[in-house]
Amino acid sequence: MQEKYDYIIVGAGSAGCLLANRLSADPNNSVLLIEAGRKDNNLWLHVPVGYFKTMNNPKFDWMYKLEKDKGLNNRRIDWPRGKVLGGSSALNGLLYIRGDRHDYDNWQRLGNDGWGYDEVLGYFKKFECQENGENEYHGVDGELKVSNLRLKREIAELFIKASQEIGIPYNPDCNGAQQEGVGYFQQTSFKGFRRSSYRSFLNRKIRNRKNLTIVTDTQISKLLFKDKRVIGVNCIQSNNRPDKTIYANNEVILSAGSISSPQILQLSGIGDAKQLEKLGIDVVHNNPAVGKNLQDHLQVRMVFKTNTRTLNDELNTWWKKALIGLQYFIFRTGPLTLSASQVYVFTNTSLDGSRPNIQFHMQPLSADKPGDGVHPFSAFTMSICNLRPESRGEVTINSADPTQLPKIIPNYLSTEGDRKIAIDSIKVARKIAEADSLKKHILDEYVPGQSFISDEELLEAAKNNSQSIYHPVGTCKMGHDENSVVDEQLKVHGIYGLRVVDASIMPELVSGNTNAPTMMIAEKAAEMILSDNNPSLTM
């Protein structure tokens, strides 16, 4: 007998898990959720600071490696992406940021009706359970727990005061009326546990729905077509299980992320015809835009040695680590509840109160790179990213073999505007460090160092000390121009029965972290998918 479902969702990440919840809410819909990774039964996937153990771990991470990048002085950097139930929401830094109003209004100006801020705000509120209560901007009835930090340190308070001293206003809610300001992040956790999309939207009760099937360790090799309609998927199964074919009655939905979604399209014959023909792939639909328009937030990292105790001091001996572990397992507090950063700043490099163009992630610890052990001295980190980079890269398959990872070319700092913001962001960070509240607590600028003074030297520092913040988007751009892959209904141009629902559809990168916006995309997509079959269904 043929295995058939009404909806096949490819990828159980931030978008896929929410979609599976919403589409299976109607018992008349049969839904299959396919995940290439494994189940989330490892302890470190649930401890908030567990990303130190799960990133760069092939058990849970796709382990993408970027091509050498001229903008980073030919360095190759890692791009962790989740390969597990929950996807990257099971590995990320837990930070809850939406971006600002102008991001979504601009999506609409680009020709994507229904994606303006006033239209999408309700979808954010629908899945949110906000610890601070309900208001115009926040909801409390959703499944995603959004919580205040359970850990604060003196150096973070000093950083907040210093930011205010140079004219950055205090803002307790950068997801509310305005984005500009300095304040503490909120995170996607609850009572000391990470709340990934899987744990939020597919709890035991939802998973036990008779019309919902979830499979793991299963990778999509290609889509199946009848003429220009997608009718199913071919799957590669691990553990020596045979490959299989699964059919869809209604739609196949790619929620595999900004790397895997364009990869699957290309492997299936949707992409640049010339490239696909060279690889021996039959062309179903020629669209050179697939995999293009890649955008990411590049963080310029600065480390300051301090005479104030930081988390470095709490993590540099085995017995202190043991006490931290004991504190967590008894009280669910302490450093193990730590998100990727404690304090945000959204500001403009001009410091004139205009729309923010940079974001700070302030961490009360320091390391050579995320996932490494902390430095053996007291220090804190300022990471600063350009919120709306102009640089564009691409994702391209090298082979018709679906098990081969694609080529990722980010093209960081490839425009004059991006290079200028990188230089100016270091200058803003130094102004914060030189403010009265913080200056007396800083012993030295460890990275990049005070010897970097001129704009040329600061640009070199940025090239040598930057890392990704892991926000790849845009490779299946939403729109109606020649550079787009999906329309405003997220249907793939030129193809029937196929949508892309993940961060790859963003026409432009949002001004902040991407996990919450990806869930919003899924929430809105679920309504559109269901209303296609039942027009009376609206939010």
pTM over 0.75: yes
Q: Exposed (0-12), middle (13-18) or buried (19+): which is 198, by Cβ within 10 Å?
A: buried
pLDDT tens digits, one per residue of 244-270: 999 999 999 999 999 999 999 999 999
Contact 485, 493 (CB under 8 A): yes
pLDDT recorded at residue 539: 35
pLDDT recorded at residue 310: 94
pLDDT tens digits, one per residue of 303-358: 999 999 999 998 888 888 899 999 999 999 999 998 989 999 999 999 999 999 99
Q: Using CA of residue 308, residue 312, residue 318, residue 321, what is the dihedral sign? A: positive
- Number of CB atoms found within 10 A of residue 114's CB: 12
pLDDT recorded at residue 536: 45
Q: 161: domain range?
A: 3-533
Residue 75, both tokens: 């360095």
Of the chain, the percentage scoring pLDDT greater than 70 comes to 98
pLDDT tens digits, one per residue of 90-129: 999 999 999 999 999 999 999 999 999 999 999 999 999 9
| Amino acid symbol at 428 | V
Asked if residue 538 is part of any domain, the answer here is no
Answer whether residue 298 shows pLDDT above 80.
yes
What span, in angstroms and rounded, lies between the C-alpha atoms of 139 and 134?
A: 5
What is the average pLDDT across 49-59? Answer: 93
Asked if residue 292 is part of any domain, the answer here is yes
Asked if residue 216 is part of any domain, the answer here is yes
pLDDT tens digits, one per residue of 159-182: 999 999 999 999 999 999 999 999
pLDDT recorded at residue 238: 87
Of the chain, the percentage scoring pLDDT greater than 90 comes to 93
What span, in angstroms and rounded, lies between the C-alpha atoms of 7 and 528?
A: 14
CATH number for the domain that contains residue 43: 3.50.50.60
pLDDT tens digits, one per residue of 360-406: 999 999 988 766 788 999 999 999 999 999 999 999 999 999 999 99
How far, in whole angstroms, is CA 518 from its chain's centroid?
8
Asked if residue 38 is part of any domain, the answer here is yes
pLDDT recorded at residue 370: 62
Strand, coil or helix: what is 400? coil
Asked if residue 539 is part of any domain, the answer here is no
User: Given pLDDT bands bounded at 50, 70 and 90, which one contains residue 1?
Assistant: low
Number of domains forming the structure of the chain: 1
Average pLDDT, the chain: 96
pLDDT recorded at residue 368: 84
What is the average pLDDT across 32-38? Answer: 98
Q: Using CA of residue 403, residue 88, residue 334, residue 382, what is the dihedral sign? A: positive
pLDDT tens digits, one per residue of 473-512: 999 999 999 999 999 999 999 999 999 999 999 999 999 9
Asked if residue 433 is part of any domain, the answer here is yes
C-alpha angle 343-344-348 in degrees, rounded to nearest 5? 145
pLDDT tens digits, one per residue of 393-433: 999 999 999 999 999 999 999 999 999 999 999 999 999 99
Contact 45, 21 (CB under 8 A): no
Asked if residue 336 is part of any domain, the answer here is yes
Contact 6, 32 (CB under 8 A): no
User: Given pLDDT bands bounded at 50, 70 and 90, which one contains residue 15?
Assistant: very high
471 assigned to active site: yes
User: Given pLDDT bands bounded at 50, 70 and 90, which one contains residue 2?
Assistant: confident
Which is catalytic among the residues 441, 471, 480, 493? 471
Q: Exposed (0-12), middle (13-18) or buried (19+): which is 416, by Cβ within 10 Å?
A: exposed
